[in-house]
Structure 1
């Protein structure tokens, strides 16, 4: 019906057809790509129509001090998050069409009052050009792969040695440790996104054997020293108050299966790794709390396809499926839904590896592209390009104004949702929106009772350390 390479090709071609604005400079800048694809079975179910409905690029996040109480700044601009937010924009328009009596490509009436469900034969899959940052990126290196992050040479004996292994900005961050539930983030979506395997006992044995061989070689010059196996690293740091990375040599550098936040050269953020977010979407759905008012059940990805690059099926299984597989007691409509995990053999030509191969000395240092592109299959203003959380190109004077807002910022998606509510006849309004004094973004999110029950169960059973966003950042309207 479809292949991973076909999905990758569709996404890359779609990106190539977009305007130049926001794209990386060839040979000097790199970025990552993610997309949501709508799959629609033909009437005879022998063919599948494939359509990109949301596409995103980006590698950066903003620090805590840049977060806005107006909901008008993008906190997390990693490609996976941009693509998902663009999909929410698409789904909101599709629901608007449905409640307005127009044709929708996605929704048909559900069995409950004011509720809608995805049409038979319709499903969504997710594509990302590189393994998601965080837990899915932790797995052993193979062959002669180069370590994108500096490997650890010895077990750290004290905290000062541990800090010595980090970049200067990160070591300063460890010393100050601002905020109880926050981590730094920046251009961490590089090739450092890749790391470790769940079988740590095997890793310990391998390291012991290598150490024994090296001890012998100290006395027998003819015996060749061997290096212990190493991990693909992830720049995402363990959440505070939870298990920490051992930072030991080789396969024992990282802990696995833990929540991580996106770090970088600055202050901490609340942005969880893309591995963690994809795992959460596997149960709560990609639609979010607001749209769940209108839906009879969550919308989950049927498959996740990763582009060519370092990849471990085991690590993807662990990060996206195993961590939540034991969750029980979910409310009606919610369940543990494990997506199919696949890898394509086609590489994104703007990733770090490909950019490095095309780089020339005269171009200066290779760097991540500062812009993030969002494209959605919507009728008005499908393209949205941002930098540092705001529309690209806005002046400092315009920051905080309507003109500076991204179309996928919280406040803009909230206003689109309010237009959906206003377009819904009172007799067809979902029960959760009837007879309640709801004003703020927070109010509407909390009123989605079934969604919040599912999130509570997921947090209690799988992610008890998931950082909570400060309420004051969600009280806009």
Structure 2
């Protein structure tokens, strides 16, 4: 019906069809890609239609001091987060169609007041070109490929400069790097060299996590292919490192040589530009979506059941199915007493044998002398299947190409930032006939983004159970950053 390679190929083709703006400079810049794919199985024929409904690229996060109480900055621009937030835009549009009496290809009415459910045969899967950063990337090292989210260091701009956000805000590449002038609007960033190019201690004798295994066939659809990983030697001297740091108050990385460097299973925050971030790793977020769903608190008002990814497909890269399962599934497998509409829904874990053409490894192969140092692309691309403004390109949390004078205005906002998604949700509420409003939105004085999130009581109850039973150290959001209107 579908294979992991078919999903990867579909996502890579959708990326290739996008405009050039925000894409990495060939041979010098690399990025990561993630996507949400809608599957529609037709009852009569059994045929499965596959459609990319949201796609994202990106490798960056902003530091906590750059976060905005107006909700107008995109805090986390990793590809996985971009793809999921673009999917929220898509789902909001489909719900808007449904409440207005138009035909939605995604939703139909449920048996509860103001609630909607997925159309029969509709499901979603998640694709990422690289193992998610954080716990899922702490895997046995079998080659020299480096981590998916390397830490970066700040670079002071020249005095008096007024580089636009399109040039990395206050970050600027060294002047000695040559440029062919093809992408002068891309953000210019200077990255810290990764430390994990090669194992530092070949004498470590600890047995790391085992590599990809295909022995548990019952958990994956029989039609899906999981790429085989070459057999490893009995003892692996090192593991891939992640730039994501353990959250405060919990187990810290042991920093032992080789396989003992990291503490497995820990919640982690992503690295930022010289300062800590408040963004949890993509491994942690995927684990959270596996319990709470990927629809978020706001759309939960309208949905009878949480939405879960039926599969997570990873492109060709360093990968361990056992480690992926630990990071995304096992850490939450004991959570119980979830409210109605929520359940433990572990996705099938698959790997494709197709590599993303803009991956770090492929960029290194294309690199030529005189192009400058290879580095992650500073821009993040979002495309989703919506009728208005499907493409959104950002840098440093703001719309790509804006000048500093536009900061603080609507022109500078990414369409994926909190306040923009909130306003889209409020438009959905306004479009809903008062007699068809969900009970959770009736008879309440709701004003701020915080108010609407907290009013989604079932979602908040499920989130509390997940915190209490699996992730007690998950940092709580600063309420002061969520009171915007």
Matches within 5 A, 1:200-349: 203=207, 229-349=237-357
Per the alignment, residue 158 of structure 2 pairs with none
Q: Decide whether the 8 Å contact of 1:188 with 1:263 is kept in 2.
A: no
Residues 300 and 131 (structure 1 numbering): CA distance in 2 closer, same or farther, change over 3 Å? same
Per the alignment, residue 481 of structure 2 pairs with 473
* Aligned pair partner of 1:381 in 389, 392, 399: 389
Per the alignment, residue 64 of structure 1 pairs with 64
State the TM-score, normalized to the length of structure 2: 0.83
Cα distance in 2 for partners of 1:66, 1:141 equals: 35
SS of corresponding position for 1:231 = coil
State the TM-score, normalized to the length of structure 1: 0.85
Cα distance in 1 for partners of 2:465, 2:198 equals: 29
Per the alignment, residue 420 of structure 2 pairs with 412
Per the alignment, residue 146 of structure 2 pairs with 148
Residues 227 and 341 (structure 1 numbering): CA distance in 2 closer, same or farther, change over 3 Å? closer
Cα distance in 1 for partners of 2:339, 2:260 equals: 39
Per the alignment, residue 46 of structure 1 pairs with 46
More helix by share: 1
Matches within 5 A, 1:131-146: 131-142=131-142, 145-146=143-144
Matches within 5 A, 1:400-439: 400-439=408-447
Q: Decide whether the 8 Å contact of 1:76 with 1:271 is kept in 2.
A: yes
Cα distance in 2 for partners of 1:420, 1:167 equals: 39
Q: Decide whether the 8 Å contact of 1:59 with 1:188 is kept in 2.
A: no
Larger Rg: 1
What runs of 5+ residues in structure 1 fail to find an aligned partner? Answer: 150-165, 171-185, 207-225
* Aligned pair partner of 1:452 in 457, 460, 467: 460
Residues 169 and 33 (structure 1 numbering): CA distance in 2 closer, same or farther, change over 3 Å? closer
Q: How well do the aligned residues superpose, as a CA RMSD in angstroms?
A: 2.5
SS of corresponding position for 2:283 = helix
Q: Decide whether the 8 Å contact of 1:191 with 1:352 is kept in 2.
A: no
Q: Decide whether the 8 Å contact of 1:193 with 1:233 is kept in 2.
A: no
Give the C-alpha shift of residue 201 in structure 1.
Answer: 10
Cα distance in 2 for partners of 1:84, 1:123 equals: 15
Residues 340 and 205 (structure 1 numbering): CA distance in 2 closer, same or farther, change over 3 Å? closer
Per the alignment, residue 75 of structure 1 pairs with 75
How far does the alpha carbon of each residue in 1:220-270 deviate from its partner, in whole angstroms, 9 at most, with x for none?
A: xxxxxx997100111111001100000001111110011001014411111
* Aligned pair partner of 1:359 in 363, 367, 375: 367
Give the C-alpha shift of residue 141 in structure 1.
Answer: 1.5
SS of corresponding position for 1:443 = helix
Give the C-alpha shift of residue 361 in structure 1.
Answer: 1.8
Give the C-alpha shift of residue 168 in structure 1.
Answer: 10
Q: Decide whether the 8 Å contact of 1:193 with 1:234 is kept in 2.
A: no
Q: Decide whether the 8 Å contact of 1:94 with 1:104 is kept in 2.
A: yes
Determine whether 1:119 maps to 2:81: no
Q: Decide whether the 8 Å contact of 1:134 with 1:193 is kept in 2.
A: no
Cα distance in 2 for partners of 1:205, 1:89 equals: 38
Residues 190 and 369 (structure 1 numbering): CA distance in 2 closer, same or farther, change over 3 Å? farther
Q: Decide whether the 8 Å contact of 1:28 with 1:355 is kept in 2.
A: yes
